[in-house]
Structure 1
Amino acid sequence: MIESSTKGVFAPETLQDYGADPVAVRESDKYVSEYIRGFVDKWDELIDWNSRAESEGRFFIDVLKARGKETVLDVATGTGFHSVQLLKAGFSVFSADGSAEMLAKAFDNGMRHDVVLKTIHADWRWLNKDVHGKFDAIICLGNSFTHLFEEADRRRALAEFYAALKHDGILIIDQRNYDSILDHGFSTQHKYYYCGDQVVAEPVHVDEGLARFEYRFPDGSKHNLNMFPLRKNYVRGLLEDAGFRKIKTYGDFQDEAEEANPDFFVHVAEKNYV
């Protein structure tokens, strides 16, 4: 189940390919080919680990420790930021992702930070086929849930998350504030999430079924991601339908009342009914 290393999984570099009509590409499986090596290698310029660590502070660590959680499954590891942060904070972490390119980068980043990531290449829709055992907590961060375009896929993924949790486990899942983008247009300071000040990340197309973001890097390169614009209350409803209770939503790591128009929402959903 556990790969100690993901070296050697890189395929020859390719270009992102959306065909003749990029805004017509609305498929859950597309993200795998979007994260080409050239994009993955630049992803940390967008995140800026140091600034990200400073901006979010101990939020996730404190949420997990306050509930006595120890084992964490990071199902959207990306380049490894949160897996590394939680490992250093003393949690037992397993790191999963559907992109082999991302997992390889995450493993290398872990080595640079003196930790060894336990990586698992897994699709959320069949998570428990590749990930065995039960966890105290699952985190799905980095706006990753937005890669699922079909509602059936979203419901199946949440069911898989629910099944992989212990009876009193919690799910932490985040998303962009797509309500604001859809209703009022895009405006963000990227104070907390995408902190790289040399990278421009903004939508080039938005409708109720697609948010197509373009990422422009200092070297002049451009990459794109097609994502489904999830509304906040819709996600909360999906969590409830999946069986989660006591769902608390934060806006940019603050109680919702304290942040009028956050860039991101963070949902903390508990499996325990009590």
Structure 2
Amino acid sequence: MTSTATQQEFGDAPTEVRDTEHYQQEYVKSFVDKWDELIDWDSRRASEGDFFIRALKERGARRILDVATGTGFHSVQLVEAGFDVVSADGSAEMLAKAFENGRRRGHILRTIQSDWRWLNRDVHGRFDAIVCLGNSFTHLFSENDRRKALAEFYSALNHDGVLILDQRNYDAIMDHGYSSKHTFYYCGDNVEVRPEHVDEGLARFQYTFPDHSVYHLNMYPLRKAYVRRLMREVGFQRIETYGDFKETYKETEPDFFIHVAEKQYREA
């Protein structure tokens, strides 16, 4: 059932809210309705180029599961590039918005609400690729949840499948302070995004919109090496990490890291 809540609830101690399930209360309808102002589809398409489409085609992927559909940006891009796409998300509000956005562009998205920790219970069949984008993996607050989700992703892939997962450069934020060029992902004009609180167990981001409305997301600050280690321990064989879509980068420069993890074993 889609909630009609318009106000986020973090209680009296917002920085103590470190619960995987809480994202359901964070993506309230009023926030979701503004999400596309934040990412700006046209600007994001220009900044990403064909990175994801190229990565998927190079690996022969055809059937794609978008597990963090959000408002549908990547699902629509992949459908328009000719892929067979299933769109999943844990937020009913996001899926409703994604379906609406898809229909506005002439597509009927196949949407499924699912918690990643029980992905294979809700989503049937196997996929050539899974994409988990938009810094979404950071909503998982316990290592057990992260391992369970990665194991579910691994299981849902064909034997030669690939997982593409992105994350903010939390290493730079925690070690050197926050700095974002807003070149990638969050491309909306006049939308201010900044961390309100950061420690080793929480990154609380504040989003301020032109109408002065303010929203927050509580996320776990994933370190790059940690995510790569978890992927290997779950069984992924070959992991390539890009910084803002580039293979070569200085660790502090990228806003985002993109991990491309292959399930198939390949000789070096």
TM range (shorter): over 0.9
1:135 partnered with 2:127: yes
1:30 aligned partner: 22
Q: CA-to-partner distance for each residue in 1:4-55, whole Å, 9 max, x for gaps?
A: xxxxx43223311111000000000010110000000000000000000000
2:41 aligned partner: 49
Instruction: Decide whether the 8 Å contact of 1:173 with 1:268 is kept in 2.
Output: yes
Instruction: Decide whether the 8 Å contact of 2:172 with 2:252 is kept in 1.
Output: no
Alignment of 1:1-274 (within 5 A): 9-257=1-249, 261-274=253-266
> What residue identity is the alignment partner of 1:226?
N
Paired with 2:17 and 2:5, the residues of 1 have a C-alpha distance of 21
Instruction: Decide whether the 8 Å contact of 1:76 with 1:96 is kept in 2.
Output: yes
TM-score, with normalisation over the residues of structure 1? 0.95
3-state SS of paired residue (2:162)? strand
3-state SS of paired residue (2:18)? coil
Paired with 2:243 and 2:174, the residues of 1 have a C-alpha distance of 17
Percent identity of paired positions between Structure 1 and Structure 2: 65
The root-mean-square deviation of aligned C-alpha atoms, in Å, is: 1.0
Paired with 2:61 and 2:181, the residues of 1 have a C-alpha distance of 32
Instruction: Decide whether the 8 Å contact of 1:72 with 1:92 is kept in 2.
Output: yes
Matched positions, count: 266
The Cα of 1:198 is off from its aligned counterpart by 1.4
Q: CA-to-partner distance for each residue in 1:205-260, whole Å, 9 max, x for gaps?
A: 00000000000001110000000000000000000011001100000000133775
Paired with 2:255 and 2:27, the residues of 1 have a C-alpha distance of 23
TM-score, with normalisation over the residues of structure 2? 0.98
| Long gaps (5+) in structure 2 | none
Q: CA-to-partner distance for each residue in 1:161-209, whole Å, 9 max, x for gaps?
A: 0000000000000000000000000001110110002100110000000
Q: CA-to-partner distance for each residue in 1:68-109, whole Å, 9 max, x for gaps?
A: 100000000000000000000000000000000000000000
| Long gaps (5+) in structure 1 | 1-8
Paired with 1:237 and 1:30, the residues of 2 have a C-alpha distance of 26
> What residue identity is the alignment partner of 2:59?
R
3-state SS of paired residue (1:254)? coil
- Deviating 4+ runs (over 2 angstroms): 9-14, 256-260
Paired with 1:62 and 1:232, the residues of 2 have a C-alpha distance of 23
> What residue identity is the alignment partner of 1:144?
S
Q: Which deviates more from structure 2 when the two are superposed, residues 89-98 or residues 10-19?
A: 10-19
Instruction: Decide whether the 8 Å contact of 1:70 with 1:91 is kept in 2.
Output: yes
